[in-house]
Structure 1
Amino acid sequence: VFVVDKIFISDVQFPETTSLKSLCQYPNSRVIIPMAHTTLSPYRAWSLAISLGFLTVVVTGILRFFSFNANDPYFCESTLNSGFWLGSNNWQPCGCMLASYSPEDISTCIPSSRRILLVGDSMIRENYNAWGRLLDSNFTVSTEKHADHSMEHGNLRVEFIWDPYLNSTGALAALTNQITARDRPAITLVGTGLWYLRYESTNNPFIKWKNTMDNFVKNLTTDIALKSDLFLFQPTGLPNYEKLDENRKATFNRTIINEMNTYLGKSTKIHTLNVAQSFNHMMQTLTGHALDGFHPSEKVSATQINLMLNMRCNELVPKVPPFNKTCCSRYPSPNYVQMILLLFSIFVLPTIVVLTFQRGSAYSNTTNLPTGKGKDTFRALTVFLVVIAFCYLADRTQVFGKQNKYWNLFDFVILVSISAIAGFFTLKKSEKYQPFLNRDQTDEWKGSLKIYHSLTISSGWMQLLILIYHYLGASKISPIYAFIRMLVASYLFISGYGHATYFYKKSDYSFRRVASVLVRINLLPLFLAYFMGNDYLFYYFSPLVSFWFLIIWAVMWIGHSYNNNLYFLVSKILFGACATYLSTVTPGILESIFKVFRLIFRTQWDLKEWRFRILLDIWVPWTGIFVAIAYIRLSEREFLSRDAFDKVRKYSIIASILGILSFLIFEFSCKDKFVYNSWNPYISFIPILSFILLRNSSQSLRRVHSKFFGFIGRCSLETYTLQFHIWLAADTKGLLMLYPTTLRWLNFVVVTALFIGLSHAVAEVTGTLTDWIVGPRTKANMTLDIADLGLRPRKYH
């Protein structure tokens, strides 16, 4: 918003105190701004900062991709040569995500009758044992250590050739005598080194090892290596010297091991062969070695074979969402419609917006570019599509890195504490009397998922907790999962409360009302579903609240002229609740509805998941409806006046505290989240009502609200949806990384700021696009609107 010291309409100069509203009588007039006296308002400064930050991130990401990652666009070399442990169990390559392969997954990428070939010393033998544990839960390690071994699982065969010096003719023959493609191994791993140090320590072990490797690599030409789909050398392992016995400690010379690995890297690079240097990085932890100090632990061996499977299989598995296998894998190419939309969103629309931004310039006066309300709509469409395009760029290309999620209690406590502190230091007290569930509370508590223009259905602090929950992958922690489930139930409770209140008080059941709410809720997820290749139900919250809105609209609309009759109203609400439950649990009803959608729209929706989502919170929206009706009727009879409420305040506080404590005790007593899910539909309303009573138990609490939580609350529908692709990644399975994955907290700060800024931008423009699609909210359109000008008058002294 620019600050203007003088306003000119045509050739008439008006005083500085002229109201912009009074200018509406001049429909054909043009505002001329003296640019020398303009300043940026806080809102415009915020928008400019977000725009510059967004542009910087995109440009640096693209430059990084085409410069630093030009030789490794799919992170194959990064997977081979680098990585670190997230916690103690999750290996994280730099820039991409590993998936955990099961025997069933392996069968989809390794054809039948193909084999895994392992050649080398006892380090490679541990790799063979890890294959056995993966493929067969009853696998037992053979007591015959210095011998060849093999196993079969289904059509997959795993072979281990014992050759600790890599000098036997049998090993080389197994690698080279592969006549047909069917004979070649799917994965080959070769390794040696420690046996030279252990048993040739007095005869210059490095020279002997070097000569052997030179001869081996010479015979193993690149063409032969390509006869294996994936051919890797394992580097000589670095022992844990604190665990070694004295004999091994004396012979396993660290300097010689480093020389071996350096030479192996140079030699194989000349012959375009690959060394899995990350195998050694995996062992550089306190738990990376077995008790003997030089063999890898079972965890490390399992991680090594999983890394090889990711390198061999990620490119071959079906390319369908979620794309959580990003190491050594290409994303599907965009279809021609997506390509046109990407080019249009990134280049054409922003160019037109830049041109139309030049207010008062000679150029903008001589073109037919959009003006006024059309300009606002055009800009809104541009912002909306650019953010959609960024979602595609972030989560359907390798321009930005991805990282697996990592649960850490310390991180959870830190993030929750920061959010709580920010909320506390932005508390604001209202001076006037505040009623039950006032608007400031709805921005703070109900305000996160904005459903329509005046009422919202979530909360800032609730949304922050859900975002942190998703970011850290805390769903496996049963008490946290139960608490988050209760927060989701709160959204639906407030949805029922808000919609029932609106329909009861306004009696507005018009098509425009229904269309406005549904468009506002679904515009973003529908565009994302098409653009990102997901189905609509994947963004489950928007479909869920849309479903409940339609149910509430239908129940309140049927016989709405009799809604003042309490008995009639309660009866039809009870009937609606029972009908909804029965139609959900009765086999065949939802199946028929989904079949119709499949035939008409060719959808592939997951019926089991949809039924689960509805039944999980089946009664909570109805509780919200009953609370809304009860509150309105009691307020009409002044039963909730200040004096009347004071009489029961003490009892309501006691009941609220008991309700919240009982819920906390119960959720911590549930052994897992599946037990809690069975109880959630019947108990989730208890902490919700308890919180409402406690939050409204006194005027002091009603008058206080948090500006920070309200700030988050005003764009929560957008944060809930956009988090799938531009805060999280891989369709919520991972995290988006703008910078190297080792800079974890820097990534978090920058990505979070960008994510919140873009969510706010989309929240603003979605309202504009909704009005454009379903029509303006007012019957008479103003000829000259302050929103079109973006100006406000101000005196200069």
Structure 2
Amino acid sequence: MSSDPELTTAHVSTLNFCILLILLLTTLQTRHEVGLRDPHQCLALLQNGTWSPVAPDGSQRWEPRGCRMVEHTTDSLCTCLNGRKVVFVGDSTIRQLFWNAGKKVTRGHSETRMKRILQSDNKHADISFRTDCAQLEFIWDPWLNSTALYGILKAFDPLPPSPREGTITEMKVNELSPVLVVLGAPGFWAARYGGDDYLNLFKRAINGIVPYLSPDLDSNISSIMTTTRNSGGVTNKIFLTPVGIPNYESLSLNRSKSITPGRVEAMNNHLAQVFPGNSTYIPWVFNKFPVRPGKHFDTDGLHASEDVASLRLDIIFNAFCNTAASARSRSFRGTCCVAAPENDVFVAACMLLGLAAGFTFGARRALEVSGDAAGVRFGLAFGNILIALVWCWYADGASFLGKAERHYQQSAFARACVIWLMVSALSSVQNTQQPDGSSSSKRVPPGYRGPGYMSRIQSNEMKGLMQGFILLYHYHYASQALWVYKIIRLFIAGYLYISGYAHTQYFLTTNDFSVQRLIEILFRINLLSVSLSYMMGTTYTSYYFAPVATFWYLVSYMMLFIFKSRNRDMRWLLFKVLLTTKLTEWFILTPGVLETASKIMYALFFISIDPEEMRFRLGLDRYIPFVGIVVAALVHRASVRRARTVLQLGCGKTTLSLRFTRLLTAICIGGVLTFLYVTQTYLPDKKTYNHMHPLISWIPILGYVVLRNSTRRLRDRFLSIPHYLGSISLETYVLQYHIWLCGDATAKLTVGYAEGR
């Protein structure tokens, strides 16, 4: 009885449910034990990190350990600051942060005004100017003891204004508490001018501001999330920068005598005593950047370079703005200083999963007794889909698992690809099935034996082999290498070629254009991508292969359905292909057409579609599906007329047949090698290659399929592991966005909490 497919499926579903439950409990325990120190990963942002490996373009990024910071745009900062007041208080190092803040939030006339202020000669004056996004103020107070500072601290309110107060106008800004205050610890001035009493002066300044500081970020992240949802604002915050570590070798003689490593360390030690290690007041990471003097410092050795100053400000904005940004959008990619957002769809999916599990377990006995498995099969399938959705949110949407940036390392990527090839080759087995591309034999014409050109087993093998490389390509961020990108583009075109070929073979063989069949295919292609767009708060086009496959299936369906009686006439079929090619090209490339279609889709199904993304994806492969359609029509015509399989190379016994096989094999090898040489050598950038790709992608694809069937031995064996992966390639492609990668496939998941906390 255990061999019954329904019972086997039931056992698999039970195993999936148990694995998910164990993973949830295990990670919750890990989060309880480890995450208590940094439940929202604020400390990971403010206290630790490392520089990324050097990218192919020579750039590097600072990456907190255990979470992802983002580079906030002007628009996102405007949303975060909401026209409120931002105050910087301190010496010239804090003024440097002030200027960088001005650059990040100014645009248009505000930027011009900021440049005029920069030209002022009075370096020790207070500065204030209004931008479209915020009121920026700098208070020159290197000792942190001015009347202006204490006035700001006394009026500071950690809570945002109530929504009842209405829109924040320019007149009301000065009446409200600052939304963000950045204070500079008075270390350099205490060391430079305080003499032997420098530490007491420093302690006095710090002790004066401690009573006014707001609660730690970690203590009220959840309340910030709730406040943001209800009021649209963010909780106000004060940050205190540590005493900076200068480039001592570049300091002037007078400064080097007073600003010494011992004095800087003593003042920072006092800060560490006042503010414990789990405090989020101080971004200690400012002093942990592994820096190079010539690159990360100004010539005076005291001020950081513009890049480092901008990075410091990005860290402050991530600590301040990420929580509200995450509350507004579940698709926000930053994971530092955020809590898991609310997700009603996830809660509903968990409840339905419990019902499905209970129904399945309760109905198993009825299945064994009565054999009526329809309801149980539905429950199992429904449960497995819910498990996939729950796991996607658990892995990527919530904050249970860590997220890490991807970096392209060619050696690691090459090793992974070689391993995949070796594993695939070792899984080679004998093909005992007859090549038959159709799923039904009821309407097969007399004498038809199925297409010999590309069997279902071969097509699944090709899809699985390509899918393995695509998964590695995304995981290793190999899109940074142009030569890899060109090859992966061929794999995507190969998918669409196989899809066009297979669907056309089915239509021509069975003449089945029923609505039921249409709905089944569209449901299979779109179920996961549409469900995940609701679950994860993403757009439908985030999982772009599903909408692309849907589009080309509908194109082939409509083309072959219209005047379907003429499909037997090759001339009529070629005419329909040419006409449809021009119509689809117009539909894809004409501005406004896809935009209108996306609005209609949203009105009907509440599905968000990015027209520009779809235009790019569809345009890249706008011809290869029609190549698959034409080849399928030719193969079908030859199979029916000759009543035998097509293109069985290596089976002929005559001299002419052997010569034809060798000639065709040589042409295909030459075509593939020439294609690779020309594209890798003479198409130097993505834009140029993307322009040529639609016109030439068919050359290596057709060549590979012929070579795959060039001998009897190759045709009679297949790779079982890629074949299995190819049978679920669409599901694998969609799910990789959240259980293999994360952040809409822009980062990768890490198990548990990252080291270095």
Normalising by the residue count of structure 2, what TM-score does the alignment of the two structures yield?
A: 0.79
Partner of 1:166: 144
Residues 465-484 of structure 1: pairs in structure 2 closer than 5 A: 465-484=469-488
Contact 1:150-1:157 at 8 Å conserved across structures: no
**539, 547, 552: which is aligned to 1:543?**
547
Amino acid at match of 2:331: P
- What is the distance in 1 between the residues matched to 2:283 and 2:597? 52
1:479-538, CA deviations, whole angstroms, 9 ceiling, x for partnerless residues? Answer: 333332222111111111111112222323233332322222222223223333334343
Are 1:442 and 2:450 an aligned pair? no
Partner of 1:329: 338
How far did residue 724 of structure 1 move? 2.0
Partner of 1:689: 702
How far did residue 132 of structure 1 move? 4.8
Residues 218-617 of structure 1: pairs in structure 2 closer than 5 A: 218=211, 220=212, 222=214, 229-239=236-246, 254=261, 257-268=264-275, 274-283=281-290, 288-290=296-298, 295-317=303-325, 319-320=328-329, 322-330=331-339, 332-335=341-344, 339-345=347-353, 347-356=354-363, 372-428=373-429, 435-445=452-462, 459-586=463-590, 590=594, 593-617=597-621
Partner of 1:7: none
Partner of 1:763: none
- What is the distance in 1 between the residues matched to 2:98 and 2:285? 18
- What is the distance in 1 between the residues matched to 2:186 and 2:662? 77
Partner of 2:227: none
Q: Secondary structure at the match of 1:203?
A: helix
Amino acid at match of 2:287: N
| Distance change (3 Å), C-alpha of 1:244 and 1:436 | farther
How far did residue 619 of structure 1 move? 1.0
Q: Secondary structure at the match of 2:328?
A: coil
How far did residue 157 of structure 1 move? 4.1
- What is the distance in 1 between the residues matched to 2:596 and 2:550? 19
Q: Secondary structure at the match of 1:158?
A: strand
Contact 2:10-2:360 at 8 Å conserved across structures: no
Partner of 2:86: 116
1:151-187, CA deviations, whole angstroms, 9 ceiling, x for partnerless residues? Answer: 6444534333344343444544455466976443332
Q: Unaligned stretches of 5+ in structure 2?
A: 55-59, 158-171, 221-233, 436-451
Amino acid at match of 1:708: I
| Distance change (3 Å), C-alpha of 1:371 and 1:420 | same
Contact 2:340-2:398 at 8 Å conserved across structures: yes
Higher helix share: 2
Q: Secondary structure at the match of 2:324?
A: coil
1:276-318, CA deviations, whole angstroms, 9 ceiling, x for partnerless residues? Answer: 1222223467865556655433332212111222222233347
| Distance change (3 Å), C-alpha of 1:185 and 1:501 | same
| Distance change (3 Å), C-alpha of 1:700 and 1:201 | farther
- What is the distance in 2 between the residues matched to 1:645 and 1:280? 75
Partner of 2:180: 187
- What is the distance in 2 between the residues matched to 1:45 and 1:379? 10
- What is the distance in 2 between the residues matched to 1:662 and 1:271? 61
Q: Secondary structure at the match of 1:116?
A: strand
Contact 1:495-1:621 at 8 Å conserved across structures: yes
- What is the distance in 1 between the residues matched to 2:609 and 2:727? 30
- What is the distance in 1 between the residues matched to 2:661 and 2:701? 17
1:758-794, CA deviations, whole angstroms, 9 ceiling, x for partnerless residues? Answer: xxxxxxxxxxxxxxxxxxxxxxxxxxxxxxxxxxxxx
How far did residue 397 of structure 1 move? 2.4
- What is the distance in 1 between the residues matched to 2:756 and 2:381? 34
Are 1:100 and 2:100 an aligned pair? no
| Distance change (3 Å), C-alpha of 1:432 and 1:221 | closer
Contact 1:186-1:229 at 8 Å conserved across structures: yes
| Distance change (3 Å), C-alpha of 1:411 and 1:248 | farther
Contact 2:125-2:139 at 8 Å conserved across structures: yes
Are 1:127 and 2:97 an aligned pair? yes
**209, 213, 230: which is aligned to 2:206?**
213
Amino acid at match of 2:500: G
- What is the distance in 2 between the residues matched to 1:709 and 1:734? 25
Q: Unaligned stretches of 5+ in structure 1?
A: 4-19, 22-30, 32-40, 446-458, 745-797
Greater shift, 484-493 or 684-693, is seen at: 684-693
Amino acid at match of 1:315: T
Partner of 1:57: 23
| Distance change (3 Å), C-alpha of 1:589 and 1:238 | closer
| Distance change (3 Å), C-alpha of 1:558 and 1:167 | closer
Are 1:678 and 2:695 an aligned pair? no
Contact 2:13-2:383 at 8 Å conserved across structures: no
| Distance change (3 Å), C-alpha of 1:607 and 1:536 | same
Contact 1:617-1:681 at 8 Å conserved across structures: yes
- What is the distance in 1 between the residues matched to 2:421 and 2:403? 28
How far did residue 419 of structure 1 move? 2.2
- What is the distance in 2 between the residues matched to 1:650 and 1:142? 77
Amino acid at match of 1:85: W
Amino acid at match of 1:312: F
Residues 719-734 of structure 1: pairs in structure 2 closer than 5 A: 719-734=732-747
| Distance change (3 Å), C-alpha of 1:421 and 1:283 | same
Amino acid at match of 2:693: N
Contact 1:65-1:400 at 8 Å conserved across structures: no
| Distance change (3 Å), C-alpha of 1:715 and 1:246 | farther
- What is the distance in 2 between the residues matched to 1:594 and 1:659? 39
Contact 1:282-1:288 at 8 Å conserved across structures: no
Contact 1:80-1:276 at 8 Å conserved across structures: yes
- What is the distance in 1 between the residues matched to 2:456 and 2:268? 66
Amino acid at match of 2:244: G
Contact 1:127-1:302 at 8 Å conserved across structures: yes
**4, 27, 49: which is aligned to 1:83?**
49
- What is the distance in 1 between the residues matched to 2:61 and 2:378? 47
Contact 2:406-2:748 at 8 Å conserved across structures: yes
How far did residue 586 of structure 1 move? 5.0
Q: Secondary structure at the match of 1:119?
A: strand
| Distance change (3 Å), C-alpha of 1:201 and 1:460 | farther
Contact 2:43-2:280 at 8 Å conserved across structures: no
Amino acid at match of 2:53: G
How far did residue 191 of structure 1 move? 2.1
Contact 1:197-1:253 at 8 Å conserved across structures: no
1:195-219, CA deviations, whole angstroms, 9 ceiling, x for partnerless residues? Answer: 267536961644442233223435x
Q: Secondary structure at the match of 1:315?
A: helix
| Distance change (3 Å), C-alpha of 1:174 and 1:686 | same
Contact 1:184-1:228 at 8 Å conserved across structures: no
Greater shift, 199-208 or 564-573, is seen at: 199-208
How far did residue 721 of structure 1 move? 0.9
Contact 2:66-2:403 at 8 Å conserved across structures: yes
| Distance change (3 Å), C-alpha of 1:120 and 1:657 | farther
How far did residue 629 of structure 1 move? 2.0
Partner of 2:658: 646
Partner of 1:757: none
- What is the distance in 2 between the residues matched to 1:44 and 1:333? 32
| Distance change (3 Å), C-alpha of 1:166 and 1:589 | closer
How far did residue 429 of structure 1 move? 5.4
- What is the distance in 1 between the residues matched to 2:138 and 2:666? 69
How far did residue 70 of structure 1 move? 4.9
1:234-253, CA deviations, whole angstroms, 9 ceiling, x for partnerless residues? Answer: 11233566777888777655
| Distance change (3 Å), C-alpha of 1:715 and 1:174 | same
Percent identity, aligned pairs only?
28
Partner of 1:711: 724
